[in-house]
Amino acid sequence: MDSNIIFIFILAIFVGIEVISKVPSMLHTPLMSGTNAIHGIILFGGILVLADAATLPEQALGFIAVVFGSANVFGGFMVTDRMLQMFKKAKK
């Protein structure tokens, strides 16, 4: 069963790379906004899992996951905002 999960994970990596590489540059901002929403859901799930962690290693891994998830969400929003600033007209 574990080999099936690893196979699916590796296959998902290749599919993700293939899909993302085909996205035109004009669609990167909406795509980034969509992935920020997904990462927000993942962060919420990580918080729920961390709340149920019983042992110290589970808590440590859960904490690391929440920190990395938070950095991903906030960094993604900063990048999206910066990209949107590029489309604004210059002030006179």
In a domain? residue 43 = yes
In a domain? residue 80 = yes
Inter-residue contact 33 to 80 (CB < 8 Å): yes
- The pLDDT assigned to 91 comes to 75
pTM of the model: 0.56
In a domain? residue 14 = no
**Between 39 and 15, the higher pLDDT residue:** 15
In a domain? residue 15 = no
Domain region containing 58 = 26-86
In a domain? residue 2 = no
pLDDT digits (tens, 9 = 90+) for 17-51: 888 777 776 676 677 777 777 788 888 888 888 88
Q: What is the three-state SS of 11-25? A: HHHHHHHHHHHCCCH
Joined together, the tokens standing for residue 68 give 């990395």
In a domain? residue 35 = yes
Answer yes or no: is pLDDT of 7 > 70.
yes
Structurally, how many domains does the chain consist of?
A: 1
Interval 43-64 mean pLDDT:
86
Cα(63)–Cα(61) distance, integer angstroms = 5
In a domain? residue 12 = no
